[in-house]
Structure formats: C-alpha cells, structure tokens
Amino acid sequence: MDHCSTCVVRNRAICAALGTDEVSLLGKMGRHHKLVAGQTLIWEGEDSLLVANVIDGILKLSTSMSDGREQIVGVVYPSDFIGRPFGSQTQYNVTALTDAHVCTFSSSDFDRFAREHPDLEHKLLERTLAELDRTRRWLLLLGRMTASEKIANFLIDMSERLIRPDCSFNGPANAFDLPFGRQQIADILGLTIETVSRRLNDFKAQGLIAVPSRRRIEILDRDGLETVAENASQ
Amino acid sequence: MDHCSTCVVRNRAICAALGTDEVSLLGKMGRHHKLVAGQTLIWEGEDSLLVANVIDGILKLSTSMSDGREQIVGVVYPSDFIGRPFGSQTQYNVTALTDAHVCTFSSSDFDRFAREHPDLEHKLLERTLAELDRTRRWLLLLGRMTASEKIANFLIDMSERLIRPDCSFNGPANAFDLPFGRQQIADILGLTIETVSRRLNDFKAQGLIAVPSRRRIEILDRDGLETVAENASQ
DNA sequence: CGACAGATTGACGAAAGTCAATTACGGTGG
DNA sequence: CCACCGTAATTGACTTTCGTCAATCTGTCG
C-alpha cells in the first residue's frame, strides 16, 4: 500500500526532505497516475487543483496564444515537481511527451502539508530558485540569439541533461535521443520547424553533428558546436 | 539604530513575515546602501555574496553575450527581493536604473537566518513562484510575439505595474513615465531601438497612444492596444 | 508493401536588423 | 530665460534572417 518505500524517485524528488514517517503521511495523500504520450494533466488558466511529482517520463509546460502559436516554457523529467502550489491558477499546460507516471496531490492538501514541513518547503524553494535561473537564461536565448545559436545551445543543453538514469556519473553525452519532434524543438526555441530543419542540416554539412534517425543526435565536434552556441559569426 | 521600525517597505518586503523581534534581529545583519543610476550591485557569474531588499528605486536584472548583446531578465521595484539565496553564483547583473536604496545582507547570514525562520522562507517561496510564473509568460512574448505585440503587451504591463506608491487603490494608469530608455525597452523585448521607435510611432499614428515626452506614455485607446497585444493581425 | 505523419527542401515574401544621417529633447551655463 | 551642447531618439535606405506556402521525400508502423 505504501508506494513511497519502493518509489524510484524517493531520494531525488522533494520527498527526499522528509523522513520515513513523514513521507508515508504524504504518500497517503498522493495518487498514482499513468499518462499516455500527448495527454494533458493540467490546463492553462484552470484553477490550480493539483500538483505532482514526476516518477517516470518527460512532460512539457506550454502556453499558447489565441491563434495557436505555442511556446514551451519548461520541460520536466523524473523526480521533478509539477504545478503551482500556493496559487490560484496554473499559468500553463502540462502535457506528457512520453508515456509517464506521476504522483499527484490535491493542491490544498499539499499546501497544508508543506506549510507544516519547513524542510519540504525549503527543498521546493531551492528547486524553484534553480528553475527561475534556468528560465531566465532561456530569456537570453529567445530574445537575443539567432536560429543557429539557439539550436547549438539547445543541443548542448540536451546532451548534458538527458541520460539521467541518474546516479552513476556520466558526463555530457555525445549521442542521445531527443524526446522531442521537430515541432516541439521549434516550440522550445521560438522558431518554425523549417528553420530547425535547415539549421540542423547546416550543422550536419559542417560536420558538427550527425542525425542518423529522426530523433537521434550525435555530436561529432563539441568544440565547434560550442563556438556556434556562443557566437554564430565565428 | 533600528532602521526597520521606520522602513517604508517593512510591511511589503519579505520582512512582513517576521515579528518585531525577529525583524530587528534581521535588521542588525542588514546594511543600508545608496546606489546611483547606472551602478551595478551584483555582477553576472560572481560568487553569490549578497542578497538585498529594494527600499526605493528600480533595478534591472540582465545577462549578456560575449559580443555585447544584452537581455534584461527582470525588473525589480521597491519591496522586491534581489539575489540568489542558497546558491553559489548569481547568474545575472543587478544594475540600478534610477538612484536607489537597498538593504543588503551577506548571503551566508541571510541563508542561515532564513533556514531558522520558515515563515520567511515561505514568503520567499511565494515570491519566487510568482516571479517564475511571470518569467515563463515572458518566454511566450520573446519566443512567439511580433514586435507590435511585444510592445503593446509591454505598455499594458507597465501601466499595471508602475504607479505603486502602493496602498491606495489605483487601477491601471493611462498615463505614466517609463523608468526605461529606448535601449532598455529593446533589451527587455528582444528588439532593437529602431524597431521599438518605429512601432511606437505606428501606435501613435493609429491613435492608440501619445508620447508627449521621451519617457512618458499616455494610453488613449486601451481596448485597441489590448487587441494589438493579443493578435496584431486584428 | 503501402499509407501516413513527420521531416525536408525550395521559392518567395515579410518582418526585423543594420548602417548612416538627421532631428529633438533635456540639461547646462551664460 | 534663452542659447547651446551632447545624448538619445527618430527616420530612411538597404540587407539579412526567418517565416510562409507548397511540393516532395522518408521512415515508421500497420
């Protein structure tokens, strides 16, 4: 009955702030959910009714305009936290990119529990601060970088963040599968799929990367890619 | 000696989470600082040595690329909190846009104090979550909006956020002074000063706004401006 | 093997950037 | 109070980048 004791993210999710007794208290409030790829867990603008831990899978946070233009504003991985505690509305959609498992809590239950457990709130604060830093760096990418710079930075970022069956050290990977299609890459970088496709081919032609299949990326010249990421003109 | 008891932001800054005794403890750790317009308080990439409350004035948070391109990633007003607690590095510059007063704390002192005062951390968490929401909405603006849409949204945002000698209710202002020059507006919106200038003139020509002096904006047709903000094509 | 979504490629257009010249504001000092 | 100066902002001509639309290709899966 107590899923937490066997939970694969027990020591990496915010639950790591809690002792055995407390985590089982929290666990009793939580519900396991399976999501299929493409399924939306939380809708933009709806009342903030639930928060969740990601157990397995990858999800996107996105906002869109009335005419359909979309911007992905965050990507979450196993052990990451989802939702807006202490707030009335969630400002973005949360959608599974792959099949996923999440552990959901009612917002009000979670908020109450968190207020009674400062260590949990502290963990949440550290995560939120880190996410804010990351998001602010993304502003520079969206506001000031060219398409080539955006894509180079994106690839480097992915090579450092994917491959996280955590634990054992593994530096930046030079070959990996993206969990995104071209449209999603475009929605992350503020570009169109055509531009993403063209610039990727440029990189291929320059020998910086190889793209053996749709979602697979192999970085052949990391230094070169990093040069493009800093300053496309060099 | 105890500045806190007379502090104008005592009840709006994160200090509002603390009782009289605790705030005076915190106050003993704080240092008053005057900044002149243009002065940088924290440099991007340097060790995170201090955090601060803004007492008076407006400051920008910004990052830049090696060739000088700059993106403003945040703007802070009186009662707002500055800096990166619980972290090793600050990821952006903090620079005064106007003459300003801040109340600074050594990061390590503040971190220790915060961990001992859950209510303070909670306040900080709520602020950080709100700032993250705001920053994520900014991603949509930078990634997916046209210049006209960006500027219309910016003006509406400003009309709602300025005019905060707080307290007394005052809805969105239809006339206000921007605390930014054209270059700074460009650095917020990911544009050039020329484009900002041209689109502002378009709005003037359409009778949406008036620009009686360099930094003054008068919104003449808020509905029209909101229409442009949502969808420039309408 | 074939169908279909996803990705690529090409031709074209539009939006924003660049560079350069001009104008206007706002502060200073006479 | 007015003239002057320097910075900031505007304006114009031109270029570049990226987006749009349409056609084609490809790999994934039934």
Identify the residue whose Cα has the smallest distance to the C1' of C5.
Answer: A181
Residues 6 or more apart from B177 whose CB is under 8 A from it? Answer: B162, B215, B216, B217
Residues, CB < 7 Å to strand C: A 181-183, 193-194, 196-198, 200-201, 211, 214-215; B 146-148, 190-192, 194-195, 199, 213-215
Of B106, B51, B114, whose CA–CA distance to A119 is shortest?
A: B114
Nearest CA of chain A to the CA of B217: how many Å?
Answer: 24
Q: Do A144 and B230 touch (CB under 8 A)?
A: no
Helix, strand or coil, per DSSP, at residue B201 = helix
Is the CB of residue A171 less than 8 Å away from at least one CB of chain B? no
Residues 6 or more apart from B142 whose CB is under 8 A from it? Answer: A139, A142, A143, A190, B150, B189, B190
Q: What is the average per-residue pLDDT within A108-135?
A: 96
Residues of A in contact with B125 (CB under 8 A): 86, 121, 124-125, 128
Is the pLDDT at A196 greater than 60? The verdict is yes
| H or E, element range at B54 | strand B50-56
Nearest CA of chain A to the CA of B1: how many Å?
Answer: 32
In the complex, which nucleotide's C1' lies nearest to the CA atom of residue A149?
A: D17
Is the pLDDT at A167 greater than 80? The verdict is no
Q: Give the range among A1-10, A205-214, B48-57 with minimum mean pLDDT.
A: A1-10
CA A22: distance to chain centroid?
27
Q: Do B63 and A137 touch (CB under 8 A)?
A: yes
Query: Among partner residues A61, A71, A126, which is closest to B143 by beta-carbon distance?
Result: A71
Query: Among partner residues A71, A137, A145, which is closest to B140 by beta-carbon distance?
Result: A71
Measure Cα distances from A211 to A146, A192, A217 in Å: 21, 19, 5
Q: Do B139 and A137 touch (CB under 8 A)?
A: no
What would the two tokens of residue A148 be? Answer: 């080539």
Query: Among partner residues A85, A137, A231, which is closest to B91 by beta-carbon distance?
Result: A137
Q: How confident is the model at residue A2 (pLDDT cuts 50, 70, 90)?
A: low
Q: What residues of chain B score a pLDDT lower than 70? A: 1-2, 163-171, 232-234
Looking at residue B232, its pLDDT comes to: 44
Looking at residue B233, its pLDDT comes to: 42
Looking at residue B3, its pLDDT comes to: 76
Whether B4-142 shares its CATH topology with B146-230 is answered: no
| Contact indicator for A102, A40 with CB cutoff of 8 Å | no
A99 CA vs C4 C1’ separation (Å): 22
Class of A146-230 in CATH: mainly alpha
pLDDT tens for B109-160 read 999 999 999 999 999 999 999 999 999 999 999 999 999 999 999 999 999 9
State how far the Cα of A156 lies from the Cα of A222, in Å rounded to an integer. Answer: 8
Q: Which of residues 60-89 of A touch B (CB under 8 A)?
A: 61, 63-67, 69-71, 73-74, 84-87
| Contact indicator for A188, A180 with CB cutoff of 8 Å | yes
Is the pLDDT at A234 greater than 50? The verdict is no
Looking at residue B171, its pLDDT comes to: 66
Is the CB of residue A228 less than 8 Å away from at least one CB of chain B? no
Q: Are strands A81-82 and A216-219 parallel, antiparallel or unpaired?
A: unpaired
Looking at residue A170, its pLDDT comes to: 61
- The conformational region for residue B55 under phi > 0 = left, psi -120 to 50 = alpha, else beta, is alpha
Is the pLDDT at A4 greater than 60? The verdict is yes
Residues 6 or more apart from B83 whose CB is under 8 A from it? Answer: B42, B48, B50, B51, B52, B90, B94, B107
Write the DSSP string, B120-164. HHHHHHHHHHHHHHHHHHHHHHHHH--HHHHHHHHHHHHHHHS--
Residues of B in contact with A231 (CB under 8 A): 65-67
Residues of A in contact with B136 (CB under 8 A): 61, 63, 73-74, 91-92, 135
Domain ranges of chain A: 4-142, 146-230
| H or E, element range at B103 | strand B100-106
Is the CB of residue A214 less than 8 Å away from at least one CB of chain B? no
**HEC sequence for chain A:** CCHHHHCCCCCCCHHHHCCHHHHHHHHHHCEEEEECCCCEEECCCCECCEEEEEEECCEEEEEECCCCCEEEEEEECCCCEECCCCCCECCCEEEECCCEEEEEEEHHHHHHHHHCCHHHHHHHHHHHHHHHHHHHHHHHHHHHCCHHHHHHHHHHHHHHHCCCCCCCCCCCCCEEECCCCHHHHHHHHCCCHHHHHHHHHHHHHCCCEECCCCCEEEECCHHHHHHHHHCCCC
State how far the Cα of B134 lies from the Cα of B75, in Å rounded to an integer. Answer: 11
| Contact indicator for A113, B160 with CB cutoff of 8 Å | no
Looking at residue A169, its pLDDT comes to: 54
Say how many CB pairs under 8 Å bridge A and B. 124
Of A42, A46, A49, whose CA–CA distance to A76 is shortest?
A: A42
| Nucleotides on strand D lying under 7 Å from protein C-beta | 8-13, 17-22, 27-28
Is the pLDDT at A230 greater than 50? The verdict is yes
Q: Give the range among A12-26, A40-54, A155-169, B201-215 with minimum mean pLDDT.
A: A155-169
Residues of A in contact with B63 (CB under 8 A): 136-137, 139-140
Q: Which of A44, A140, A189, A233 is the mutation pick for testing B, counting most B CBs within 10 A? A: A140
Looking at residue A233, its pLDDT comes to: 42
Q: What kind of fold does domain B4-142 have according to CATH? A: Jelly Rolls (2.60.120)
Q: Do B144 and A115 touch (CB under 8 A)?
A: no
State how far the Cα of B18 lies from the Cα of A180, in Å rounded to an integer. Answer: 46
